[in-house]
A = this chain, B = another copy of it.
Amino acid sequence: MNSLHDIAEQLISAKNILLYPHVGIDGDAVGSCVAIAGALRTMGKKAYALYEEEIPHNLSFMTEDEEGEPYFTCEPDIISDDDLDVSIAVDCGGYDRFKPYGEKFKAAKVTLCVDHHGTSIVTEEDGTAHGIADYSVIDPDAAACGVLVFDLLKEMQSMTEIKLIPDKFTGEALFAAITTDTGNFQYSNTNRKCHEVMAELYDWGIDANKISVEIYENERIQEVRIRNRAMDRMTVTADGKGAVSYVTKEDLEEIGVKAGETDSVVKVMRAIGGVEIVAFLKEKDRNVIRVSFRSKHSADVAAIASKYNGGGHKKAAGCTLYMPIEEAVKIISSEVEEALKEL
């Protein structure tokens, strides 16, 4: 594994840089890319993040620089292969995580990776560990990639005369990265270091309240409506320890729900006191049912998901069932009850 000094050195000596956030982009990936690309542009370099899908609307407040130039593009040829000095994977470290830009990534003279996902670390037979890039910093102890980017920017600042930080806009991008990836400083990845970074970001002039309103008080009404429908339909089992709900394709179309807009359902279900396991089923298509599981304390929902060729973590997992929605609801309800018996 390399140091942030190595990463900083490569970025500073490059002219044209592309950044690669992960598919299913989130606040950490957007904020980290914006902070790095912003600093590179301040140094007079050409820097863009490659991303094919739409950026979630509650993160769009930071996707352009002060001149109105977007930080994100889906066009890999914005920098030709010949001109591409550096490719840097941000908040991810596997080619499948920034599809369809794997070939573009490799075309750069130098490849870099800054990430906090342990799954991005490749361990060789001799025990040495590295990432996919020529220079990788992958630190699973970092609560967010934004925490690493904070240190990277300080490192870069120490190596140049150009003023990169403290900078309000950059600080707000890093705040967005950290608040979203720690679930508002509530998840178990939250630690001393990320609060230290937050304390320092206040010296950069951030308006954390303004950014919080952008991120968290920006639901589309459709998101509220579909969550309400799911909550109205929720059934509670096993003395209040299990909760199961679902929405149909018809619901989604009638209300006009976009991708990701049912994500809050499992959160609200799990927030009920006494609930240990929740399952939410979404009919993506006839006989294609996506199931999301969450557990609150000790229950292992990855074990349920894996029975249906799914996977995930102990407290957050998912699988897909190929059957009518009514049948899937019955099966998952009894799986939840079974799992609760074993607690």
Contacts and interface: CB of A to CB of B under 8 A. Distances in A.
A128 interface: no
Contacts of A224: 231, 268, 272
A339 interface: no
A125 interface: no
Nearest to A217: B271
B231 A208 contact: no
A196 B197 CA distance: 9
19 contacts: A57-B273, A58-B273, A179-B186, A185-B185, A186-B208, A186-B212, A188-B209, A195-B199, A196-B199, A199-B199, A213-B297, A217-B270, A217-B271, A217-B272, A217-B273, A221-B272, A224-B268, A228-B228, A232-B232
A297 B218 CA distance: 12
A220 interface: yes
Nearest to A192: B202
A179 to B, nearest CB: 7
List the number of copies, as a whole number. Answer: 2
Contact of A190 (B208, B221, B236, B296): B208
Contacts of A270: 217
A3 interface: no
Interface string A181-202: 0001111101111011011101
A193 B199 CA distance: 7
Interface string A266-306: 00101111000000000000000000000011000000000
Contacts of A195: 195-196, 198-199, 202
Given A184-B184, A185-B198, A216-B271, A221 B236 contact: yes
Interface string A218-254: 1111001000100110001000100000000000000
B57 A213 contact: no
A220 B185 contact: no
Contact of A199 (B179, B192, B202, B216): B192
